[in-house]
Structure 1
Amino acid sequence: MNNNQLYINGQWVNSISKDKIEVENPATEKIFEHVPAANEEDVNSAVKAAKSAFDSWSKLSLDERLSYLNKAFEIFEGYQDDLVEIEIKELGSPRSWAKNAHVKGPIKRFENYLKIAKDFSFKDDLPKATVVKEPIGVIGCLTPWNYPLNQVIQKVIPALICGNTVVLKPSQITPLSAYFLAEAFHKAELPSGVFNLVTGRGAEVGNVLASHKDVDMISFTGSTSGGIEVGKLALETVKKLALELGGKSPNLVLKGSNYEEAVKTSLNSTFNNTGQTCSALTRLIVPKEDLQEIENIIVEKSKGFIVGDPDEEETKVGPLSNKKQFDKVKYFVEKGIEEGAKLLVGEVPQKKDKGYFANPVVFSNVSNKMEIAQEEIFGPVLCVIPYEGIEEGIEIANDTIYGLSGAVFGPQEEAENAAKRIKTGEIKINNGKWDPLAPFGGYKQSGIGREGGFYGLEEFVEIKTLFNK
């Protein structure tokens, strides 16, 4: 894969900047690849190409656009084995998780957008008017390192379906999987300038895109602090914004629920992807009178999360993505001990000879006022918070600046009533299954807008009313 260049205006081109970004394998700490560290001139070239391509691309029929994208999908789908290897190397994802969550999942999303696009209404008839949904223009897509391919697909594909053109800046930590998508578009002969890939650092590429006068919308996924910074820059020219940000999601366990299922759900959510998931259920809120019983279940079930080489089949938890993340998790584990939480599982992370590995940690008897219960740790750290009475449980669930995801386990009617009172963009009730047509996004400081299904398409259109009747 040609990851030594940028993809601009339908061609692989050298960066005007001669600088390079090192791509590190977090399991070995070895630099195994480099990508260009693009500069403002590179961004300007990409935006110019996208702007020039917008008029002709937006005027194509939906069927014509889908013809290109279906061809690209067929090519991209053939890269699955290579993509698994890339996510093991650039993210440190265990093989099984890389295969299912980082490759099969995004490919399924790509396919799903193509399937539902024909049923998406680009026109709504009102009694005395017609509402049309038009392409916005040039979309700057800024994607994160923790689910690198998934978030690229969630932005780029619906944006293109709706007739927009795109400049993509993937994370500098995990930039490589995006090259496979660019290559698929290239081989599918997507018209020049419709899709552009510019790798680089946030301040040198992301911020330039966010403030660029010819970029019409910014779709950003990352930390809340990063989203605020990008949002401020984008609003200088009043761009449309979609922000998918942080979380500190609650799993409220009601009296009479299946405690084993509730614990299993939180452990999987918190430990898979080494805890580097914005929607992870990192606050397990449990009946105080049953705390000991639930602690016993946690200790037993935590034994199944084997930490080690992500290339080994039995590994469930790989390394953290980089030294910064390792140091952050170490700080919060030490902070939890200092705050007086009970260290039920795990220990303070200790740096090994190679790799940014941290064993899963569970704190019990946590107060929701503690820093470990309020801050997004982004590592395999679970907080168990006891409550007395359902009102206190719901109050604790909502006592956060975030509102991205959540869960409630309990008798069905009681669980559904509680779920309706928890301020999150999505919430799992008992064993509720994921639906690819469902929207994803958050309340409060977890973001603005939604991704997924028809809701994800609607983010990338402008609404125009025609009084024509």
Structure 2
Amino acid sequence: MREYLKFYIDGQWVEPSGTKTWDVIDPATEEPSGRIALGEAEDVDRAAKAARRAFKTYSQTSREERVALLERVLVEFEKRIPDLEAAVSEEMGAPMWVSRDAQVVLPHNHLKIAIENLKTYEFEEDRGLSLVRMVPVGVCGLITPWNWPASTVMTKVVPALAVGCTLILKPSEYSPYSAQILTEVMEAAQVPAGVFNLVYGDGPTVGAELSRHPLIDMVSITGSTRAGAEVARNAAESVKRVHQELGGKSPNIILESADIEGAVDRGVKGLMFNTGQSCSAPSRMIAPQSKMEQVISAARKAASEVTVGAPSEDAYTGPVVNGNQWNRIQELIQSGIDEGATLVAGGVGRPEGYEKGYYVKPTVFANVTPEMSVAKEEIFGPVLVIQSYVDTEDAIELANDSDYGLAAYVQGGSIDEVREVGSRIPAGQVYLNGSGLDLIDFTVPFGGHKRSGNGREWGDFAFEAFLEPISLVGYNPSPTSE
């Protein structure tokens, strides 16, 4: 049993102001695997004051000092990679191969790329008479989710540190273990006191207070659209910057020119990866009506190859994160059946052989129409829906018939055709002839359009989220005319 009952504030592990605790449930067993303290508004206030004090000096550090700091973080991170892999698997049910090959690889790469970007990033630009200088936005409240617990922490913490901000981290109470280890990494790397602070807590208490607190200049959240909207409402009174990476219902257009069996296989397994718990997963397959019989057959075969098992087993998927998610997924699967979609694979209930654990049958629906709940709502589990189109214009219209715009996928035989279709989908990242991880590029911006959010992460775009421009007008005076 893990017990993390202190917060990291002002360079010290401190007792919380209250006595509330939270049992962290192992999704594979439904039994507690640990316990954390839950913070109150007073804990956020202590952390905000520490971060504000630290900002005065940390914001004035040189590029070279911050590069050296992140290089120390990298050294300490690499020492803890096995611990992080085990923690992610335990806290959110990821199969160990997913923890090893993706969940911890992503933050490791983001850290390395940030160091290289920081070495050359232009913080100043001459514009004739003026100089535009990019300065750190200030004290940042960072709210991270449970589905990529180490990666989402580092995609916010690292750029904030790189540009000179100080911060308070609130990880999800459902997956706090990797955040604890990353905090220990920051401590071992000798991040200056008050620059990095950790407060555990729930959204309505700690999350809301981070959004409201007058000493916090910016709040960055990765989470559901509902949570992002609530953060924005709480932040409005203090007019702080709100940076959001929210939900998705990403289309995956399979053009008639595609290798149908290969494209469908990639689409099914791309959705099922991480047990469907990725906001950019290709959850809506949009396939040609003329080839629907072949599409359904290929989808049924691909789903049958998606194995389910405990995180320690070599299965493709594990359990979903908690009971609330499991119940919601079951309700949506039932709604798909009730609303007339064709159940191609899976269905309600646990897979055969599982009486405990939040396991979900790998499920595929076909003949899904746009008004069905499974077509509109982000299910966030191993549930794929297949919609049919008549021609390419119809496919694009179906793809864009969504409140979300985080990611999209286009697969076809001609790269020119794929490029043309992909350019017409308003999404933050459009993957051409791939399912995501096989095409991942850590240097390009990640973030959404529409209700998927308004911020960008990854690469040098992540720096911009934590910077404000100052225009020094007249910095370069014109020569006196004779």
Who is 1:346 aligned against?
Answer: 346
Q: Distance in 1 between matches of 2:445 and 2:154?
A: 14
Equivalences for 1:211-250 in 2 at 5 Å? 211-250=212-251
- Give the drift of 1:179: 1.1
Q: Distance in 1 between matches of 2:259 and 2:456?
A: 31
Who is 1:271 aligned against?
Answer: 272
Question: Is the 2:88–2:99 contact (alpha carbons within 8 Å) kept by the matching residues of 1?
Answer: yes
AA matched with 2:430: I
Who is 1:449 aligned against?
Answer: 455
Q: Distance in 1 between matches of 2:266 and 2:133?
A: 42
- Give the drift of 1:187: 1.4
Question: Is the 1:19–1:38 contact (alpha carbons within 8 Å) kept by the matching residues of 2?
Answer: yes
Who is 1:463 aligned against?
Answer: 469
Pick the aligned partner of 1:361 from 363, 367, 371: 363
Who is 2:425 aligned against?
Answer: 422
Who is 2:294 aligned against?
Answer: 293
Question: Is the 2:350–2:361 contact (alpha carbons within 8 Å) kept by the matching residues of 1?
Answer: no
**Cα RMSD for the two superposed structures:** 1.2
Moved over 6 A (4+): none
Who is 1:40 aligned against?
Answer: 41
- Give the drift of 1:433: 2.1
AA matched with 2:109: K
- Give the drift of 1:309: 1.1
- Give the drift of 1:231: 0.7
Matched, 1:437 2:451: no
Q: Distance in 2 between matches of 1:239 and 1:8?
A: 22
Q: Distance in 2 between matches of 1:104 and 1:418?
A: 31
Moved more, 292-301 or 317-326: 292-301
Matched, 1:91 2:92: yes
Deviations, residues 270-315 of structure 1 (Å, cap 9, x unaligned):
11111111001100000001000111111112222110111112x1
Task: Provide closer, same or farther for how the CA distance between residues 2 and 49 of structure 1 changes in structure 2, counting only shifts above 3 A.
Answer: farther
Who is 1:316 aligned against?
Answer: 316
Q: Percent of pairs identical after alignment?
A: 39
Question: Is the 1:91–1:146 contact (alpha carbons within 8 Å) kept by the matching residues of 2?
Answer: yes
Residue 147 of structure 2 aligns to a residue whose secondary structure is coil
Who is 2:102 aligned against?
Answer: 101
Question: Is the 1:15–1:38 contact (alpha carbons within 8 Å) kept by the matching residues of 2?
Answer: yes
Who is 1:391 aligned against?
Answer: 393
Question: Is the 2:269–2:302 contact (alpha carbons within 8 Å) kept by the matching residues of 1?
Answer: no
Deviations, residues 307-360 of structure 1 (Å, cap 9, x unaligned):
0111112x1110010000000100010000011000001121248432010011
Paired positions, count: 468
Who is 1:327 aligned against?
Answer: 327
Question: Is the 2:332–2:374 contact (alpha carbons within 8 Å) kept by the matching residues of 1?
Answer: yes
- Give the drift of 1:139: 0.2
Deviations, residues 211-250 of structure 1 (Å, cap 9, x unaligned):
0000000000000011000011112111111100000000
Question: Is the 2:3–2:34 contact (alpha carbons within 8 Å) kept by the matching residues of 1?
Answer: no
Moved more, 168-177 or 76-85: 76-85
Residue 343 of structure 2 aligns to a residue whose secondary structure is strand
AA matched with 1:415: V
Residue 238 of structure 2 aligns to a residue whose secondary structure is coil
- Give the drift of 1:412: 1.2
AA matched with 1:366: V
Question: Is the 2:303–2:363 contact (alpha carbons within 8 Å) kept by the matching residues of 1?
Answer: no
Residue 447 of structure 2 aligns to a residue whose secondary structure is coil
Question: Is the 2:245–2:453 contact (alpha carbons within 8 Å) kept by the matching residues of 1?
Answer: yes
Deviations, residues 72-129 of structure 1 (Å, cap 9, x unaligned):
2201111111111111111010010011111122111111111211121101111222
Who is 1:153 aligned against?
Answer: 154
Q: Distance in 1 between matches of 2:192 and 2:87?
A: 27
Ranges in structure 1 where 5+ consecutive residues have no aligned partner: none
Who is 2:479 aligned against?
Answer: none
Question: Is the 2:93–2:321 contact (alpha carbons within 8 Å) kept by the matching residues of 1?
Answer: yes
Question: Is the 1:2–1:179 contact (alpha carbons within 8 Å) kept by the matching residues of 2?
Answer: no
Residue 335 of structure 2 aligns to a residue whose secondary structure is helix
Moved more, 67-76 or 245-254: 67-76
Deviations, residues 345-383 of structure 1 (Å, cap 9, x unaligned):
112124843201001100001112211101101111100
Residue 338 of structure 2 aligns to a residue whose secondary structure is helix
Moved more, 202-211 or 2-11: 2-11
- Give the drift of 1:150: 0.6
Task: Provide closer, same or farther for how the CA distance between residues 51 and 71 of structure 1 changes in structure 2, counting only shifts above 3 A.
Answer: same
AA matched with 2:133: V
Q: Distance in 2 between matches of 1:39 and 1:187?
A: 26
AA matched with 1:459: A
TM-score by length of 2: 0.95
Moved more, 453-462 or 424-433: 424-433
AA matched with 1:346: G
Who is 1:114 aligned against?
Answer: 115
- Give the drift of 1:3: 2.2
Q: Distance in 2 between matches of 1:266 and 1:65?
A: 41
Q: Distance in 2 between matches of 1:322 and 1:2?
A: 19
Matched, 1:260 2:261: yes
Who is 1:171 aligned against?
Answer: 172
- Give the drift of 1:2: 7.2
Question: Is the 2:3–2:36 contact (alpha carbons within 8 Å) kept by the matching residues of 1?
Answer: no
AA matched with 1:168: L
- Give the drift of 1:192: 0.5
Question: Is the 1:139–1:167 contact (alpha carbons within 8 Å) kept by the matching residues of 2?
Answer: yes
AA matched with 2:137: I
Who is 1:131 aligned against?
Answer: 132
